């Protein structure tokens, strides 16, 4: 999919509330929205677009658990099997002393894992260039985009102009 | 645009900004040629850094003997500076993580710069343990990795190793948090730039386009990172305090150290944020974004944490006396009245007395006072660490080995060098990135802009009246009559909130008790705030969700009863 050209028709709105009303209207008309682009996270957008809740936090929990196990089992193996050293006559397997490092690695693994997962699933990262529909979307415009292969372009156009889009344009995304 | 007016909230963004104004004001400092103060500051900082690097090279070349450390005073300025910088590095994550969880909107004005400050402070801090070990070129021995020396592992029972893990983790997590927040703003800079500059920011922005799903994940990531960074920030200075508290040195092995160090760290961190931000807001003309409300909020945090630190100092003194343990008693007697009495009194004055000025609202909102006191606090917190470290070590168990420690020019030079490093990095940051989080400020505009809340609020959209949207005629209402109308709404006795779906008599009572008495007040409220009111109210409101109330209230306020009825038909028990 990523390599085929997509003919996109999009409308720019001046305010997020007008855009939200427009999306409700699009849902009522059963128009398939390709994507919505905004300069900041707009609350109330996800349910309208039918986006399910992000599962990043589940990934984060798994990474954190991995960190806990790495730290705790690692220190256990090192101090009881690999190279047991006596520190001040204390037991080799001194669990309370392992708590701080176990905690730190839990946090470290969860944070690194989640952040990298975030960039990978979003297809973002150093060297990635995604084509921008309009330069003002990161400034003050709120954009609803339709893929012309999914919706009738005349219908999309009349929808955009009737719901208060201040500009309607077409662009081919490669 | 519908009017969203909240008379109960203080604005956080002044000047009736539109979204475009925010972009313009916050991004343009990175697009201008550097100003003269910036160039002078940069040359000065980089010269200090150069001198610091020379002193570090001198230390490594000639050995640690170039410092005045001796048999008993094994830690001097090096660890004092280390703890001082780490403490300063605590405000950033506190502002970005803990205040995010507490949903404090004022954090958006200062979080970006505070996080940057955190990262730079941690870099300065990490330098000291790196060089004070003497053989800096084998410092990687600290890390547990399969090696050819046995494999021989570091001692996982040692607080010094915990510290290494805590600080590496803190640095990494802060960096990830900060950069992920920067990505959308770099995209904003990219979309305004041309030529080479566009290419550079295209690389930095990681290809961000602002898609709805990306924003959703971005918010999920920020929230979870905030959730795990909160215990992390508390753990870091706790573990730093373990470096001292787990030893057997009188004056160090006290259980009060972890909370006392954490409070002190937040105290000094906020002082440094204020020192920097008061200069930044003036030089970059950001007074409308970093307002006196922000300054006052931070001063309240300083007052609270400063008072905790004060109580901790007095508790230490009391416990030393009450313990009946002569070595402990001597340690504290010696701190206050021994050869280093000047640093003890400097610490007491700067950290305990000076923040008490902030009980006065006038001083909390005074830029000059705040700037002066923030520097006093920075000095005081440096004294605190010096008092704990040097005075304790200079008088140990054996009187024959007592000494008086003062630093050499090399030690002073390295400290000055880290100040140079800190400001060099901060000045570069101010040029390269927007110092205030652009996207996050935009997201609070509708709830905290001065056209939507506070005394100057008017029935007004966002400055763009030209979109031909069906309510736009309302926006052209004469400002004066609108203001009167708002005043009337504010003073209006009470509305019947039960007319809204999802609000019954009990919920209404809870809302009115919390000060939300009118449709106007409800329309201007944040759903999170409403949820808090429900959570704290008497009675069980588990089944009630305030998500649609502001919307319903707005329609009711404007007398659009037909629309409201239509909406209520769609709602199910007040939920979308």
Give per-residue pLDDT as tens, B7-59.
667 788 888 888 888 888 888 888 888 888 899 999 999 999 999 999 999 99
* Domain match, B523 and B441 both: no
Q: Check A122 against B1: CB less than 8 A apart.
A: no
Q: Check B156 against A49: CB less than 8 A apart.
A: no
β-pairing verdict for A6-13 and A35-37: unpaired
**pLDDT interval class at B78 (50, 70, 90):** very high
Q: Which of A91, A138, A146, A165 to mutate to test the interface with B (most CBs of B within 10 A)?
A: A138
In a domain, B27, yes or no: yes
Q: Which of B3, B168, B174, B210 to mutate to test the interface with A (most CBs of A within 10 A)?
A: B210
Chain B stretch 421-480, residues whose beta carbon is closer than 8 A to a beta carbon of chain A = 439-440, 442-443, 461-462, 464, 466-470
Q: Check B162 against A74: CB less than 8 A apart.
A: no
Mean pLDDT value across residues B447-462:
68
CATH assignment of the domain containing B357: 1.20.1630.10
In this prediction, residue A72 carries a pLDDT of: 96
Cα–Cα distance measured from residue B298 to residue B306, given in angstroms and rounded to the nearest whole number: 12
Nearest CA in chain B to A19: B469
Q: Tokens at residue B158, please?
A: 């040692």
Nearest CA in chain A to B2: A17
- The answer, yes or no, to whether residue B461 has pLDDT greater than 50, is no
| A127 close to B (CB below 8 A) | yes
| B403 close to A (CB below 8 A) | no
**pLDDT interval class at B458 (50, 70, 90):** low
Spatial neighbors of A15 by CB under 8 A, at least 6 apart, are A142, B1, B461, B462, B464, B467, B469
| A37 close to B (CB below 8 A) | yes
Q: Residue A123's domain spans which residues?
A: 1-174
* Domain match, B108 and B192 both: yes
Quick: pLDDT tens for B374-408: 999 999 999 999 999 998 899 888 888 888 899 99
Q: Is the dihedral of CA B449, B455, B461, B463 positive or negative?
A: negative
* Domain match, B381 and B496 both: no
Q: Tokens at residue B300, please?
A: 């309240």
Q: A84: helix, coil or strand? A: coil
Quick: pLDDT tens for B410-434: 999 999 999 999 999 999 999 999 9
Cα–Cα distance measured from residue B444 to residue B458, given in angstroms and rounded to the nearest whole number: 17
Cα–Cα distance measured from residue B69 to residue B92, given in angstroms and rounded to the nearest whole number: 32
Q: Check A124 against B214: CB less than 8 A apart.
A: yes
Nearest CA in chain B to A127: B203
Domain count, chain B: 2
Nearest CA in chain A to B246: A97
Is residue A79 within 8 Å of residue A93, measured between CB atoms? yes
* Domain match, B423 and B513 both: no
Cα–Cα distance measured from residue B184 to residue B424, given in angstroms and rounded to the nearest whole number: 25
| A94 close to B (CB below 8 A) | yes
Spatial neighbors of A120 by CB under 8 A, at least 6 apart, are none
Rounded (5°) CA angle A158-A159-A165 = 95
* Domain match, B56 and B141 both: yes
Using a CB-CB cut-off of 8 Å, the residues of chain B touching A105 are 165, 169
CB count within 10 Å of CB B330 equals 15
Residue that finishes a domain, picked among B413, B446, B479: B446
Q: Check B215 against A97: CB less than 8 A apart.
A: no
In a domain, B453, yes or no: no
Q: Check B19 against A39: CB less than 8 A apart.
A: yes
In this prediction, residue B518 carries a pLDDT of: 76
- B160, B161, B127, B79: which is closest to B388 by C-alpha? B79
* Domain match, B424 and B538 both: no
Using a CB-CB cut-off of 8 Å, the residues of chain A touching B144 are 74, 78
Q: Which of B23, B176, B215 sits opposite A38 (nearest CB)?
A: B215
Distances (CA, A) of B545 to B416, B500, B541: 55, 12, 8
Q: Check A104 against B242: CB less than 8 A apart.
A: no
- The answer, yes or no, to whether residue B476 has pLDDT greater than 50, is no
Cα–Cα distance measured from residue B187 to residue B498, given in angstroms and rounded to the nearest whole number: 45
**pLDDT interval class at B133 (50, 70, 90):** confident
Using a CB-CB cut-off of 8 Å, the residues of chain B touching A123 are 207
In a domain, B200, yes or no: yes
CB count within 10 Å of CB B200 equals 15
Distance from CA of B167 to the nearest CA of A (A): 9
- The answer, yes or no, to whether residue B140 has pLDDT greater than 70, is yes
Using a CB-CB cut-off of 8 Å, the residues of chain B touching A126 are 203, 206
- A141, A152, A142, A148: which is closest to A170 by C-alpha? A148
Question: Rounded to the nearest 5°, which phi and psi values hold at A11?
Answer: -120, 145
In a domain, B319, yes or no: yes
Q: Which of A47, A87, A138 sits opposite B157 (nearest CB)?
A: A87
Nearest CA in chain B to A125: B206
In a domain, B311, yes or no: yes
* Domain match, B240 and B354 both: yes
Residue ranges of chain A whose pLDDT lies below 70:
1-4
Is residue B363 within 8 Å of residue B369, measured between CB atoms? yes
Placement of tokens 């006196």 in the chain: B292
Q: Residue B69's domain spans which residues?
A: 19-146+155-446
Q: Check A54 against B206: CB less than 8 A apart.
A: no
Structure ipTM: 0.94
| B149 close to A (CB below 8 A) | no
Nearest CA in chain B to A118: B217
In this prediction, residue B552 carries a pLDDT of: 82
Quick: pLDDT tens for B303-339: 999 999 999 999 999 999 999 999 899 999 999 998 9
Q: Check A56 against B242: CB less than 8 A apart.
A: no
Using a CB-CB cut-off of 8 Å, the residues of chain A touching B219 are 41
* Domain match, B345 and B273 both: yes
In this prediction, residue B6 carries a pLDDT of: 60
* Domain match, B329 and B197 both: yes
Domain count, chain A: 1
Q: Which of B211, B240, B449, B471 to mutate to test the interface with A (most CBs of A within 10 A)?
A: B211
Cα–Cα distance measured from residue B230 to residue A164, given in angstroms and rounded to the nearest whole number: 43
Spatial neighbors of B388 by CB under 8 A, at least 6 apart, are B244, B251, B252
| A174 close to B (CB below 8 A) | no
In a domain, B498, yes or no: yes
Mean pLDDT, chain B, whole residue set: 85
Cα–Cα distance measured from residue B166 to residue B240, given in angstroms and rounded to the nearest whole number: 9
- The answer, yes or no, to whether residue B493 has pLDDT greater than 70, is no
Chain B stretch 210-269, residues whose beta carbon is closer than 8 A to a beta carbon of chain A = 210-221, 223-225, 228-229, 231-232, 235, 239, 242
In a domain, B466, yes or no: no
Q: Tokens at residue A139, please?
A: 């400034």
Nearest CA in chain A to B191: A135
Using a CB-CB cut-off of 8 Å, the residues of chain A touching B200 are none
| A144 close to B (CB below 8 A) | no
Mean pLDDT value across residues B97-104:
83
Mean pLDDT value across residues B66-90:
91
* Domain match, B27 and B135 both: yes
In this prediction, residue B472 carries a pLDDT of: 39
Q: B211: helix, coil or strand? A: strand
CA quadruple B440, B469, B5, B16: dihedral, nearest 10: 60
Strands (DSSP E) along B409-495, which ranges? none
In a domain, B264, yes or no: yes
The residues facing B87 across adjacent strands are: none
* Domain match, B434 and B502 both: no
Q: Check B209 against A136: CB less than 8 A apart.
A: no
Burial class (CB in 10 A: 0-12, 13-18, 19+), A103: buried
The residues facing B13 across adjacent strands are: B449
Spatial neighbors of B454 by CB under 8 A, at least 6 apart, are B7, B9, B10, B11
* Domain match, B425 and B514 both: no
């Amino acid at each position: 999919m990523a390599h085929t050209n997509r003919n996109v028709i999009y409308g720019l709105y001046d305010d997020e509330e007008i855009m939200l009303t427009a999306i409700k209207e699009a849902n009522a008309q059963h128009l398939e929205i390709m994507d919505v682009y905004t300069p900041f996270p707009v609350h109330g957008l996800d349910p309208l677009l039918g986006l399910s809740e992000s599962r990043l936090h589940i990934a984060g929990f798994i990474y954190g658990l991995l960190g806990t196990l790495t730290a705790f089992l690692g220190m256990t193996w090192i101090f009881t099997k690999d190279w047991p050293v006596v520190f001040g006559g204390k037991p080799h397997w001194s669990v309370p002393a392992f708590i701080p490092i176990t905690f730190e690695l839990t946090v470290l693994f969860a944070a690194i894992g989640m952040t990298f997962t975030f960039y990978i699933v979003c297809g973002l990262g150093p060297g990635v260039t995604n084509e921008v529909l309009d330069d003002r979307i990161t400034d003050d415009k709120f954009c609803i985009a339709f893929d012309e292969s999914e919706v009738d372009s005349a219908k999309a156009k009349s929808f955009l102009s009737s719901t208060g889009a201040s500009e309607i344009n077409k662009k081919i995304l490669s | 645009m519908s009017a969203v007016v909240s008379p109960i909230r203080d604005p956080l963004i002044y000047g009736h900004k539109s979204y475009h104004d925010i972009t313009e004001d916050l991004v343009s400092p990175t697009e201008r040629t550097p100003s003269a103060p910036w160039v002078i500051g940069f040359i000065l900082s980089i010269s200090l850094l150069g001198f610091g690097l020379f002193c570090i090279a001198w230390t490594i070349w000639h050995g640690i003997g170039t410092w005045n450390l001796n048999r008993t005073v094994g830690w001097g300025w090096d660890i004092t500076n280390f703890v001082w910088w780490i403490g300063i590095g605590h405000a950033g994550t506190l502002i970005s993580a803990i205040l995010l969880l507490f949903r404090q909107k004022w954090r958006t004005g200062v979080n970006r710069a505070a996080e940057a400050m955190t990262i730079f402070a941690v870099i300065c801090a990490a330098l000291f343990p790196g060089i004070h070990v003497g053989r800096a070129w084998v410092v990687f021995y600290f890390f547990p990795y399969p090696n050819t020396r046995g494999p021989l592992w570091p001692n996982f029972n040692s607080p010094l190793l915990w510290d290494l893990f805590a600080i590496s983790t803190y640095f990494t997590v802060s960096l990830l948090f900060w950069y992920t927040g920067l990505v959308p703003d770099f995209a904003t800079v990219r979309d305004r730039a041309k030529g080479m500059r566009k290419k550079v920011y295209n690389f930095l922005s990681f290809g961000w386009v602002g898609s709805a799903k990306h924003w959703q994940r971005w918010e999920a990531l920020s929230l979870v990172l905030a959730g795990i960074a909160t215990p992390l920030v508390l753990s870091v200075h706790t573990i730093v305090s373990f470096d001292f508290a787990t030893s057997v040195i009188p004056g160090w092995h006290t259980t009060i150290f972890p909370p006392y160090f954490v409070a002190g760290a937040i105290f000094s961190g906020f002082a440094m944020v204020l020192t920097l931000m008061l200069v930044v807001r003036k030089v970059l003309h950001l007074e409308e974004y970093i307002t006196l409300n922000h300054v006052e909020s931070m001063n309240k945090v300083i007052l609270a944490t400063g008072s905790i630190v004060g109580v901790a100092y007095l508790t230490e003194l009391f416990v030393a006396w009450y313990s009946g343990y002569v070595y402990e008693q001597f340690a504290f007697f010696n701190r206050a009245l021994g050869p280093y009495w000047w640093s003890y009194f400097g610490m007491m004055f700067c950290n305990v007395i000076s923040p008490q000025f902030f009980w006065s609202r006038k001083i909390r909102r005074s830029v000059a006072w705040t700037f002066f006191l923030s520097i006093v606090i920075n000095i005081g917190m440096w004294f605190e660490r010096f008092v704990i470290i040097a005075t304790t070590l200079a008088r140990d168990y054996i009187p024959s080995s007592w000494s008086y420690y003062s630093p050499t020019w090399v030690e002073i030079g390295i400290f000055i060098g880290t100040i140079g490093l800190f400001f060099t990095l901060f000045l570069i940051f101010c040029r390269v990135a927007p110092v205030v989080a652009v996207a996050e400020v935009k997201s609070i505009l509708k709830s905290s802009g001065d056209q939507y809340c506070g005394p100057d609020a008017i029935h007004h959209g966002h400055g763009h009246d030209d979109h031909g949207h069906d309510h736009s005629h309302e926006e052209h209402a004469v400002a004066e009559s609108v203001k009167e109308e708002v005043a009337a709404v504010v003073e209006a006795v009470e509305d019947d909130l039960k007319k809204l779906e999802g609000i019954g008599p009990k919920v209404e009572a809870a809302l009115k008790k919390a000060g939300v008495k009118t449709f106007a007040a409800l329309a201007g409220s944040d759903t999170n705030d409403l949820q808090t009111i429900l959570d704290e109210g008497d009675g069980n409101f588990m089944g009630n969700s305030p998500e649609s109330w502001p919307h319903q209230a707005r329609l009711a306020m404007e007398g659009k009863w037909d629309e409201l009825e239509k909406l209520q038909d769609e709602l199910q028990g007040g939920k979308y």
